Amino acid sequence: MANTETSLKEAASIEGAIGAALVDYTSGMALGTIGGGKELDLNVAAAGNTDVVRAKVRAMEMLGLNDEIEDILITLGSQYHLIRLLKTRGNNGLFLYLALDKNRANLAMARHQLKKIEAELDI
């Protein structure tokens, strides 16, 4: 089982990673971050993406969709932003956020690696 720090280090090692965060979407607070810097304030990203998750959950409820969100992909001109909702071992209310450089990242592999990180994460 991996802790928050180990999981974030694994996320940061994904090809093309700019930064990563573990976020509590009930509060919008980042429980941990790695990377980012001048080009990406991960605490602001955590709070902003919390709104994205909440909006999508509300939309699914209004549509009566009886399903779970695996991940949310936001594609920018030069970046991918992945939000992976955690469902393992009572981690409800948390998501992994990963920002990737679009020119260096393999989106399919990044999604696969986030799923693996989720499975190993123990909070």
pLDDT single digits (tens) 100-118: 999 999 999 999 999 999 9
Nearest to 94 by CA among 32, 7, 43, 26: 26
- Quote the CATH superfamily of domain 4-120: Dynein light chain 2a, cytoplasmic (3.30.450.30)
- 70: pLDDT confidence band, cut at 50, 70 and 90? very high
pTM across the whole model: 0.92
What whole-number distance in Å separates Cα of residue 63 and Cα of residue 60?
5
